[in-house]
Amino acid sequence: MKAEHINPFLRSVVNTFSTMLSCEARRGEITLAKSNTQSYPISGVIGLSGKAAGTVVINLSQEVALKAASAMLMTELTSLDDDVIDAVGELANMVAGQAKAELEEYELSVSLPNVITGGGHEIRFPSDAQPITVPFDTDFGPLLLVVGLMPVCEPVSA
């Protein structure tokens, strides 16, 4: 995965947390994902397709999920209920949507968000897309952005 593929997602996380949640998100060191097992118990997952294919995951600690959902819904939420699940899906959707706008050349379509909960859950990426993991420290707590995106080879016409 190239820097020009991951940078729109990095900017999108920072921008989404800043504008939608009034929360600063500080990026950590970018690494190759070593496992499909997610570090935190709640993940918003978006599939991407077009001239590139892949998956983007916002993997949140429970603390971040609750505080982000509370900020979005302007009420204090204290347990992982349907409102929190919906808010995490919407966060994933916003991050993917903003990044998609910067990756116009790939004519990406964004899937509906899925939210997966539970400690130690796994998320599979397309076999040819080596996912990149980026930790963020936010005013709400820690989260991970995991992106696996690869350009799709177009058939050569004769």
Q: 123: closest CA among 141, 99, 147? A: 147
Residue with tokens 């706008």: 101
User: What are the tens digits of pLDDT across the range 94-127?
Assistant: 999 999 999 999 999 999 999 999 999 999 888 7
Q: Which CATH architecture has domain 3-29+40-150?
A: 3-Layer(aba) Sandwich (3.40)
User: What are the tens digits of pLDDT across the range 36-81?
Assistant: 889 999 999 999 999 998 999 999 999 999 999 999 999 999 999 9
pLDDT of 25 strictly over 60: yes
Distance CA 58, CA 61 (A): 10
Output phi, psi for 111, to 5 deg.
-75, 170
